[in-house]
Amino acid sequence: MPPAAPSVARSREGGGRRTAAAARLPRSVRRTLPRPLALCLGLCLASAAATTLPDFSFSHTLRLLTFSFVPGFASGFVAEDITVMSAFNLLHLVTKSQPVALRACGLPSGSCRDKKNCKVVFSQQELRKRLTPLQYHVTQEKGTESAFEGEFTHHKDPGIYKCVVCGTPLFKSETKFDSGSGWPSFHDVISSEAIEFTDDFSYGMHRVETSCSQCGAHLGHIFDDGPRPTGKRYCINSASLSFTPTDSSEAEGGGGRESSSPASADRAEL
């Protein structure tokens, strides 16, 4: 007699279909998570990933939901199998959903990543006094502000965005766009020498970190999903930036230095 198909087994009680993996599970395990509860659990996991992981955009959340739940419902799996499959898919996609195709973005020679080669150096005491706690955490400890809560996320005034630590001009307002990620996004920099790129393997994924080339302050990350003409998305923390309106700049092109202190003393904490 040929062996029975291992993939699907017919349930005698309900007549429904169960996978072989589910059939082998104890009855108490198979009945712990109904399908609505499994879906709610997956939605909560995806929402948590979208709000806590750095640079995790709304498109990534949709990708999580699509690839986690649609295959399970379409094939008629039981709720318990969907829960197990969704958990593994969520963990996999959280760590693999942002591949970076950038090349030649390794740490350049003479980088001020360790603060020793920086052209502008500040003591920790001075920075803690001059910066807000959030600004210090983001720029000096490579922290990340909460999505959609930054001061410049929806900022549209014309002007120049500068490093909050040393005042180096970084981005023009003309290059800012709404990426839906929850952080200020730019498709180009004022000068290619203003920013340094470093491979970042935190959170189990490969990204490219951006930092100020003058003082080494952490800014954010760069991705290859930006608009034309560059195709780049500089995802930057608001806490890493200060803003100078166009009429306050010495040069409208953005090359001038900020006339006041690099970090505004009255800048409210984000």
Task: Please check whether residue 159 is in contact with residue 246, taking contact to mean a CB–CB distance below 8 angstroms.
Answer: yes
Best CA proximity match to 184, nearest among 155, 162, 153, 210: 153
Active site residues: 235
Tens digits of residue pLDDT in 229-266: 999 999 999 999 999 999 865 544 444 433 333 433 33
Task: Please check whether residue 160 is in contact with residue 249, taking contact to mean a CB–CB distance below 8 angstroms.
Answer: yes
Q: State pTM to two decimals.
A: 0.56
**How is domain 124-248 classified at the CATH fold level?**
2.170.150
Tens digits of residue pLDDT in 52-76: 555 555 555 555 555 444 444 444 4
Give the number of other CB atoms < 10 A from CB of residue 28.
Answer: 7
Q: Can you give the residue ranges of every domain in the chain?
A: 14-96, 124-248
Tens digits of residue pLDDT in 129-175: 999 999 999 999 999 999 999 999 999 999 999 999 999 999 999 99
Tokens, residue 20: 């072989």
The CA–CA distances, whole Å, from 64 to 5, 57, 83, 86, 205 equal 31, 11, 13, 9, 15
Collapsed DSSP state (helix, strand, coil) of residue 202: helix
Task: Please check whether residue 203 is in contact with residue 122, taking contact to mean a CB–CB distance below 8 angstroms.
Answer: no
The one-character DSSP state at 204 is G
Tens digits of residue pLDDT in 102-135: 333 333 434 565 566 788 899 999 999 999 999 9
The residues, ordered by sequence, that sit 6+ positions from 47 with a Cβ below 8 Å of its Cβ are 61
Instruction: Specify the length of the chain in residues.
Output: 270
